[in-house]
Structure 1
Amino acid sequence: MDVASSATAAFRTTFGADPAGLWAAPGRVNLIGEHTDYNAGYVLPFALPQQVVVAAAPGDGPGWTVCSDLAPEAVTFAEPAPGTVEGWAAYVAGVVWALREAGHAVPPARIALASDVPVGAGVSSSAALESAVLTALADLGGLDLPVPRRPALAQRAENGYVGAPTGIMDQSASLRCEAGRALFLDCRSLEVEQIPFDLAAEGLAVLVVDSNTPHRHVDGEYGARRASCEAAAGILGVPALRDVPTGDLARALARLDDGVMRRRVRHIVTENQRVLDTVGLLRAGRIREIGPLLTASHASMRDDFEITVDRVDVAVEAALAAGAYGARMTGGGFGGCVLALIDADAAGATTAAIERAYRTRSFAPPTAWSATPGPGARRL
């Protein structure tokens, strides 16, 4: 059963009727630009074919009832104040709360969820859920809510309600990506540019490898990295680390006494430049040439930002040894996925090489698939 059918079936089972419609929002992989979003920098994600599908209809009472094809019981809430709804349903309640906080009259609704976005893999399953729910509620309520304004509301749900200190990239990708393109996002101005990323035309593929090492954002590590970046920006007298020019990096680092903070700053400043360099190559149609930038990004995340783990490092090394043009971890870190830019006919061989490397180290097997840039949130 596909995801849309699963959502429809869950709705019928829980509510005894057909939904008014189906809405979908995708997970994402970030081609390059990690932890730059909350530093007001640049990112370059694209949407995955995997998605969260919402089957929804107007409510028959004053509140909201949500169910999932993976949860045994529905959850009902009437006043979604922070802390009153927990678990997976908190992401739904958070969207309702964020919309109401922004002054929107959110319609009561019955909602059923289904998803094939891997959870805990660093491909934004939570942002996909938030984006799908927000899109459904905006349509059901006829809300005056232009798409460019939606990512900030979905991010508000995750930051202010769920408690995860994520930047705006994930929700922007889920809501604003286009098929066949990567989304170049300026996280300060929120301006976007759709960058051509036609892998098939060049005989290429992006292999996404789930290391099956779940990561967590609602924990101390992500927050610690963010706090360190903000503290460094304060010491350097800039609004955000995005404002440290690459040419001034050495001078900026010399002003920081803490070695850990210096490494964090070096990653952010050089990562922003790598995003800009990658965009320049893609605009010129030179997709293969972004490979070394991807690999340099991984080395920076490993050595300076210190957010990789053994399983993702091994996957990157094995992919490169198998002939990938470049490879890097994608996502917030401490687990999750790796992406590798490869020839389209090399997916099987590259996957096999990573599987062999995992067996040698007695790691649980990884899961891999080729990703094609897909569309953002929409009504089906």
Structure 2
Amino acid sequence: MTKLLPTSTAGSLPKPIWLAEPEKLWSDWKLSGDALLEAKQDALLVALQTQLNAGIDIISDGEQTRQHFVTTFIENLNGVDFNQRKVVRIRNRYEASVPSVIHAVSRPKSIFVDDAKFLRKHTDKVIKWALPGPMTMIDTLYDGHYKSREKLAWEFAKILNEEALELEAAGVDIIQFDEPAFNVFFDEVNDWGVAALERAAEGLKCETAVHICYGYGIKANTDWKKTLGSEWRQYEEAFPKLQQSSIDIISLECQNSHVPMDLLELIRGKKVMLGAIDVATHEIETPEQVAATLRRALQFVDADKLYPCTNCGMAPLPRQVATDKLYALAQGADIVRKELLSP
């Protein structure tokens, strides 16, 4: 990116009411067959135009073609049975009924590549595409085959790498891996989690990012946050290893959170997608609030490496709230950009 402080979203945006039930994760599609394909493409175009209108610089697909950031990828793989479900705890936070790994996992065909080609055809802007990270994928399943979190993570890393290389060939400029599990399983992150992430990104010539947050603004996550005390220092566990990794960009949340800003010093030298928009509230940040967050971050991140972003995905928010937050993000970044560029 040549533009100073280029803005982006963490990933998801609310879906139009004609595609799926709004403000709900795992919402069922309202259409099927060819009508659903057309509706998904229409929603992609709406998400694109919403971002362009707001002044967002790095465009995402808004995850319009997937029901959920993890399960949509998994349901396109061989070896996972969605009819054999088990109840497991997700990131030690809440229980969910999840599919089972019943035999060796593999990817029979590309999953998001056609969507990426469609988006690429409609914009010349930088495109960022999010994929679930290996550790977060294994935390959303019951493994009855490998019976080893690490072994399954490495298998998923190989599959993710296949998809990522095809997305790059389709014109995607930044591949992002979503790893909220990095804020929970600290020993595994350092033992093999970062290594598995690097395997997922192996051979990519485009930029790579890892997004680590405290989750969507859903009750299970907001309740968990209330137990974390006055300082959220989870990033302290993964950042040193990530600073030494081959991943180019670290994406994290900072707005309205108790993350001490000085933890950014641990990833000095990396590009930082800094969450300056809170996705757990319907309150719209003012551009000045966004700017204040970015100014604090600039004490620890060089200006040419700071990418203003949202804390997490915005799928559960009302569409107008999410849109207004995008405008606030772009306008707040513009305030600081002008300050940095003024003589």
TM interval, shorter chain, is 0.3 to 0.5
Q: Which has the higher contact order (CA 8 A, sep 6+)?
A: 1
Bigger Rg, structure 1 or 2: 1
Calculate the TM-score normalised by the size of structure 1: 0.30
More helix per residue: 1 or 2?
1
